Structure 1
Amino acid sequence: MNDTANHALRPTLVVLASTYPRWSGDPEPAFVHELSRRLVQRFHVIAIVPDALGADQSGLHDGVEVIRYRYAPRLLQTLVNDGGIVSNLRRSRWKLLLLPSFVLAQAWCLWRLLHKTRVDAIHAHWLLPQGLIAVLLRKLSNRRPALLVTSHGADLYALRGYWMNVLKRFVIRNADAVSVVSAAMCSELKRIGAFVESKVAVRPMGVDLLEAFKPDPRVSRSDFELLFVGRLVEKKGLRYLIDVMPNVLESVPDARLTIVGFGPELPCLKKRVDDHGLGHKIQFVGAEPQSRLPAYYQRATVFVAPFVEAESGDQEGLGLVAIEAAGCGCPVVLGDVPGAHGLLDASCAKFVRPKDASELAAAIVELLTDRAGRECLAARARERVAKAVDWGVVSGEYADLIDGVVNARS
């Protein structure tokens, strides 16, 4: 069967997103693309995403028809990457000037697509701005595809204030269905008066636990290596991990910390390491593609993600890095923010109060010095996440959710 005939047999799904891989192996979070490419068996998937310097051209990628839109001269298209929109705006206020063209360019691409292609459903990742774009264009157009909006956390927690909450409520009330990536986010929706029980479902993003993020018996696990993986932004809490390393080293002199990631806090974090005189104990690896991450998790003794609530209110919606670590059989220490409990609990991970140096150091030392305890914890975590967040499970649930809203409107 040729591609044209195959497209005709599948409903057309348009995906709107901000964060999306710029090229194969891009270290930017890839969960939107990972979900989209797994939906192509049931949908003709078209992704409308921002262009960036060095990004691949528009075209077919892993079965997804990717449309990259420009919103500024290419050198200035820096609103999304290296930290995310919220962090980039806080660090560089001039980037507020990019917001209008960023939103309007994505809206224009969707408007043109709606008027030249039969679109059965839209999946808007993030309430703002993608959810708002989709809701407004559906109201303005005589073509009204089904609409699923997914909140990943930053859009819900960090975008605060009266008018932001008004817009969030507007989007949710006008969407056909809404998903959040952890149950904790439902509490925030209720707090701002945006929770609609008949519309809101908890659906996490997934992790490839069958082929990629799994234990590898060929890799020897270290006895003293701590690992951090993630964007170097405030809500990840890395500064607090660096600050407790002297306390950890008092009890475990051979301990060392490997940091994998990139982001706007890198210069100040490196200075923090230098101020503590820990350059020989803490290594910044930089950004790594997803394909190389399993080896870090498989080798590390303990994975540490000391999540905190940022000054802006932003916090983790789910914390997929913890799931990746658990999938690889690495025991996990987490900052006790609500989203961290989405899939793990105290039976299979160590939780510490955010910003509590003594609790964080004690949890790390306990796991470093108790091999049997950490192996037991890791085994329980692996068993727990494998049942809930492998991409095979997650993509099937999202496909069913999208099918449901399409059928409800037909």
Structure 2
Amino acid sequence: MMRILHVLDHSLPLHSGYTFRTRAILHAQQAMGLEVRGVTGQRQLDSAAWSTSAATLADPEVAEGLTFHRTPGVPKGLPGLREWGEITALARRIEALAEEWRPDVLHAHSPALCGMAALRAGKRLGIPVVYEIRAFWEDASVGNGTGREGSARYRLTRQLENRVVAGVDAVITICQGLQDDLVARGFDRSRMAIMPNGVDLALFGSPLARDAELAEGLGLGKGPVIGFLGSFYPYEGLDDLIAAMPAIVEQLPDARLLLVGGGPAGDALRRQAAQSPASRAICFVGRVPHHEVDRYYALADVVCYPRKAMRLTDLVTPLKPLEAMAQGKLVAASSVGGHRELIEHGRTGTLFAPDDPTALANAMIDLLGQREGWDERRATARAFVESAHDWASNVRRYLPVYQTLLGQSVEYAGIAA
């Protein structure tokens, strides 16, 4: 049985988009007959401060049927030295675990700190290394408001990423945009594969009926309801969505906006909403437990993703629109590159110009006013997720990568790569 050790920034029981993608991958690989474990760096313990679901740092720790090993200690020291210390500690932990568990492949997931640690350990151990890029973290820091494009930190992070990509045996990206950017840097496309974001339909593919009591308690009325469920980062463009609400309500007086989640932009968004002429139509719920998210999806007629135009959103495909499609929701989104990879305008969703509240409002008014086409579009979008973005089938794409590195041709659970 092939053994894959996934090298991670953080994992379950912490909750984030990063950990949910990891969970889906590992569960799907287990179902396919692979033996998988994860190992996390020192940021797992650091991350406990921002997660209400964090547990003590056990090693190993079993969460939702998955085994994770931990790297002791916390990041410390001056910038640069701190990150190098994280790489060193994680590389040592990988080597020690490999002596015990004997993985066939080290599968590192971004950020580049994980990739560099796996690369160092893999070279010492003679184990092939796969590096999977979910986003360029220097661009993510710009989008999160914690970094500046072109800064010394930005350039150093990019250089480290390039060094990892050049050194590993194979590279996987979550979308075409990231792969194209690497090719533009001079890397060989033949060493790359794409593993797109997906949805675990076994967990997320059975939409709930609308809870009328919950809707009444939130003041949503009969709607229509525009929803957003996710993290409140500046790049998500929720300020544009709030700015569009007066025009939407002018044409559709019963329309409501439901915002579920939280994050760095949360306080500013609440102030903006309070000052809006459409304030009565805007409802903030805050963060909800992950197992209750589908209750709030069920309240929305349209789920809207008004991301700002920037490198991060142009290069990276998000997970949330796929979740909304799986839940049988209409999807509307800004026409940034990451959304265009997932959404076909007029067929699986509606696209509108980014950074433009007027364009957003007009798109929503048109969509909400054409109910006769809703059922067909929802069914088309759901079928798209089932055919192209179900983890149970998508995870098979890893096998040719692994087997090429190992010189194998093996069937797992009746599936030939």
Q: TM-score, normalised by structure 2?
A: 0.81
Aligned-pair CA distance for 1:206: 1.9
> 8 Å contact 1:231–1:261 — kept in the other structure?
yes
Secondary structure of residue in 2 paired with 1:314? helix
Q: Which runs of 5 or more residues in structure 2 are unaligned?
A: 142-148, 216-221, 411-417
Q: Which position in structure 1 is the counterpart of 2:134?
A: 152
Give the distance between the partners of 2:399 and 2:287, measured in 1 at CA. Answer: 31
Shift in CA distance, 63/217, structure 1 to aligned 2, threshold 3 Å: closer
Aligned-pair CA distance for 1:65: 1.7
Deviates more, 1:324-333 or 1:265-274: 265-274
Give the distance between the partners of 1:111 and 1:120, measured in 2 at CA. Answer: 13
Instruction: Give, as a single letter, the amino acid of the residue that structure 2 aligns with 1:149.
Output: Y
> 8 Å contact 1:184–1:339 — kept in the other structure?
yes
Secondary structure of residue in 1 paired with 2:321? helix
Shift in CA distance, 127/402, structure 1 to aligned 2, threshold 3 Å: farther
Shift in CA distance, 272/400, structure 1 to aligned 2, threshold 3 Å: same
Check if 1:33 corresponds to 2:23: yes
Aligned length: 375
1:65 to 53, 64, 67: 67
Check if 1:367 corresponds to 2:360: no
> 8 Å contact 1:232–1:264 — kept in the other structure?
yes
Secondary structure of residue in 1 paired with 2:201? coil
Aligned-pair CA distance for 1:60: 2.4
Shift in CA distance, 255/101, structure 1 to aligned 2, threshold 3 Å: farther
Give the distance between the partners of 1:278 and 1:219, measured in 2 at CA. Answer: 24
> 8 Å contact 1:230–1:260 — kept in the other structure?
yes
Q: TM-score, normalised by structure 1?
A: 0.82
Aligned-pair CA distance for 1:64: 2.3
Shift in CA distance, 233/71, structure 1 to aligned 2, threshold 3 Å: farther
Paired residues for 1:281-296 under 5 Å: 281-296=281-296
Aligned-pair CA distance for 1:366: 1.2
Q: Which position in structure 1 is the counterpart of 2:105?
A: 121
Aligned-pair CA distance for 1:15: 0.9
1:189 to 182, 194, 197: 182
> 8 Å contact 2:135–2:178 — kept in the other structure?
yes
Q: Which position in structure 2 is the counterpart of 1:391?
A: 391
Instruction: Give, as a single letter, the amino acid of the residue that structure 2 aligns with 1:72.
Output: V
Give the distance between the partners of 1:286 and 1:299, measured in 2 at CA. Answer: 15
Q: Which position in structure 2 is the counterpart of 1:331?
A: 330
Q: Which runs of 5 or more residues in structure 1 are unaligned?
A: 1-9, 77-93
Instruction: Give, as a single letter, the amino acid of the residue that structure 1 aligns with 2:63.
Output: H
Shift in CA distance, 70/273, structure 1 to aligned 2, threshold 3 Å: farther
Q: Which position in structure 2 is the counterpart of 1:273?
A: 273
Check if 1:22 corresponds to 2:13: yes
Check if 1:169 corresponds to 2:168: no
Aligned-pair CA distance for 1:97: 8.5
Secondary structure of residue in 1 paired with 2:9? coil
Percent identity between matched residues is: 24
Aligned-pair CA distance for 1:219: 6.4
> 8 Å contact 1:248–1:364 — kept in the other structure?
yes
Aligned-pair CA distance for 1:144: 2.0
Q: Which position in structure 1 is the counterpart of 2:173?
A: 180
Instruction: Give, as a single letter, the amino acid of the residue that structure 2 aligns with 1:34.
Output: A
Give the distance between the partners of 1:129 and 1:22, measured in 2 at CA. Answer: 21
Q: Which position in structure 1 is the counterpart of 2:201?
A: 209
Q: Which position in structure 1 is the counterpart of 2:414?
A: none
Shift in CA distance, 334/129, structure 1 to aligned 2, threshold 3 Å: same
Shift in CA distance, 252/151, structure 1 to aligned 2, threshold 3 Å: same
Secondary structure of residue in 1 paired with 2:298? helix
Instruction: Give, as a single letter, the amino acid of the residue that structure 1 aligns with 2:26.
Output: S
Give the distance between the partners of 2:161 and 2:408, measured in 1 at CA. Answer: 23
After superposition, what is the alpha-carbon deviation per residue over 1:258-280, rounded to whole angstroms, capped at 9, x for unaligned? 11222211111111112225543
Q: Which position in structure 2 is the counterpart of 1:7?
A: none
Give the distance between the partners of 1:95 and 1:276, measured in 2 at CA. Answer: 42
After superposition, what is the alpha-carbon deviation per residue over 1:105-150, rounded to whole angstroms, capped at 9, x for unaligned? 32332132234442211111115121122123323x1x12121111
After superposition, what is the alpha-carbon deviation per residue over 1:306-338, rounded to whole angstroms, capped at 9, x for unaligned? 11235xx43262111100111111111111111
Instruction: Give, as a single letter, the amino acid of the residue that structure 1 aligns with 2:36.
Output: V
Give the distance between the partners of 2:280 and 2:136, measured in 1 at CA. Answer: 34
Shift in CA distance, 64/403, structure 1 to aligned 2, threshold 3 Å: farther
Give the distance between the partners of 2:201 and 2:35, measured in 1 at CA. Answer: 25
> 8 Å contact 1:146–1:409 — kept in the other structure?
no
> 8 Å contact 1:336–1:352 — kept in the other structure?
yes
Give the distance between the partners of 2:89 and 2:2, measured in 1 at CA. Answer: 25
Give the distance between the partners of 1:98 and 1:275, measured in 2 at CA. Answer: 43
Secondary structure of residue in 1 paired with 2:11? coil
Shift in CA distance, 335/176, structure 1 to aligned 2, threshold 3 Å: same
Structure showing the higher helix proportion among its residues: 2
Shift in CA distance, 318/19, structure 1 to aligned 2, threshold 3 Å: farther
> 8 Å contact 2:4–2:107 — kept in the other structure?
yes
Shift in CA distance, 282/33, structure 1 to aligned 2, threshold 3 Å: same
Shift in CA distance, 309/17, structure 1 to aligned 2, threshold 3 Å: farther
- Indicate the RMSD between aligned Cα atoms, in angstroms: 2.9
Give the distance between the partners of 2:86 and 2:357, measured in 1 at CA. Answer: 40
